[in-house]
Amino acid sequence: MSDSRRVSQPAATSRRDFLKVSTVSVGAGVLGSLSLARSVHAQGSDVFKIALIGCGGRGTGAAVQALSTKANVKLVAMADAFRDTLDRSYEAILANCKDRVDVPEDRKFAGLDAYQKAIDSDASVVLLCTPPGFRPMQYEAAVKAGKHVFMEKPLAVDGPGVRRIVAANEEAKKKNLAVVVGFHMRHEANRQAAVKMLQDGAIGDIRFMRAYYHCSGVWVRPREKDQTEMQYQVRNWYYFNWLCGDQIVEQHVHDLDQCNWIKQAHPVEANGMGGRQVRTGKDVGEIFDHHAVEFTYADGTKLFSYCRQIPNCWDAFSEYANGTKGQAELM
């Protein structure tokens, strides 16, 4: 390992470019097992009609990105568990893309069943940007209705959820639906080139990898007066495993996906540990604040994975591969 090569990542593709690619003309190979279609135009129309489901930070951003493409795109329906969140999102989208928003009152849907109403609108594309605990149910509904889908990662929070996604995806393939997942790093040209170099043997046989997602943490949405327990947990979803899946699933999945992409395989074994060191207090639910996992691939390659949400520590969002002829760093 004397030849230490660094495969670095120049400027990332902008979010706008990412969605332009992802919702309209995705290249083969980008999506893993998810299906592709030739076109997402509504039948008999040249307008892409879009429905946004989950109008929080990412959903609002995804809608603005989708509406900022050169394609003939219109937002026609919005759905969120909470009306106040939907209203804020609507104003933000309107401020950015006024001419491409056509969401009258009767196509603004609030509540836990709102997603179905948006799917039932005449949109041909749905953006699923809710907490991942709801993703399998909402993806199934979108596929059943024959809608093309952009959905955020992660796709589920547990094994049963993953199996529902995989089964729904088989249906999506049969229906020739376009389906894209928000693993944005898979869409960056520089990263694609770097991963190809590694797959082509630039550092020899890869023997072990490391993946890090260390940051200070995310927002806390404290309990409000008169909230039901369900309203509280859905608002403060990051801290509840049935909605979030904890940090490995929710955030570190980006790094693990990169390693699986490099290896073109999934691990067959995982041994890990984690805990709560500084995450105390009544509004931080049940998730851990640090995790360490040793993954093993079928060929014996090890992946050492670390993630942490603790303020005022070393932050890292990167992956490293060590091979028989050198090492690579993806950041």
Ligand X SMILES: NC(=O)c1ccc[n+]([C@@H]2O[C@H](COP(=O)([O-])OP(=O)(O)OC[C@H]3O[C@@H](n4cnc5c(N)ncnc54)[C@H](O)[C@@H]3O)[C@@H](O)[C@H]2O)c1
Q: Which is closer to ligand X, CB of 132 or CB of 274?
A: 132
CB of 313 to ligand X, least distance (A): 21
Distance CA 172, CA 37 (A): 10
CB of 271 to ligand X, least distance (A): 25
Q: Which is closer to ligand X, CB of 42 or CB of 220?
A: 220
> 208 is written with which tokens?
């072990």
Q: Is the dihedral of CA 91, 97, 99, 101 positive or negative?
A: negative
Could you tell me which residues are beta bridge partners of residue 53?
A: 79, 128
CB of 191 to ligand X, least distance (A): 14
Listed in sequence order, the DSSP H helices in 102-216 are 114-119, 135-144, 159-174, 189-199
Q: Which is closer to ligand X, CB of 81 or CB of 287?
A: 81
> 248 is written with which tokens?
């490995």
Q: What angle do CA 130, 189, 325 make, to 5 degrees?
A: 110
Distance CA 294, CA 119 (A): 40
Q: Which is closer to ligand X, CB of 203 or CB of 234?
A: 234
Distance CA 172, CA 165 (A): 10
Give the closest residue to 318 by CA, choosing from 219, 209, 200, 197. 209
CB of 303 to ligand X, least distance (A): 21
Contact yes or no for 256/317 (Cβ under 8 A): no
Q: Which is closer to ligand X, CB of 94 or CB of 197?
A: 94
CB of 103 to ligand X, least distance (A): 15
CB of 57 to ligand X, least distance (A): 4
Residue nearest to ligand X (CB): 56
Q: Which is closer to ligand X, CB of 56 or CB of 323?
A: 56
CB of 60 to ligand X, least distance (A): 8
CB of 59 to ligand X, least distance (A): 5
Binding residues for ligand X (CB under 6 A): 53-59, 79-82, 85, 112, 114-115, 129-132, 134, 152-153, 182, 184, 234, 250
Give the closest residue to 79 by CA, choosing from 106, 123, 111, 42. 111
Q: Which is closer to ligand X, CB of 188 or CB of 250?
A: 250
Q: Which is closer to ligand X, CB of 101 or CB of 114?
A: 114
Distance CA 323, CA 309 (A): 29
Distance CA 65, CA 180 (A): 14
Give the closest residue to 103 by CA, choosing from 84, 79, 125. 79
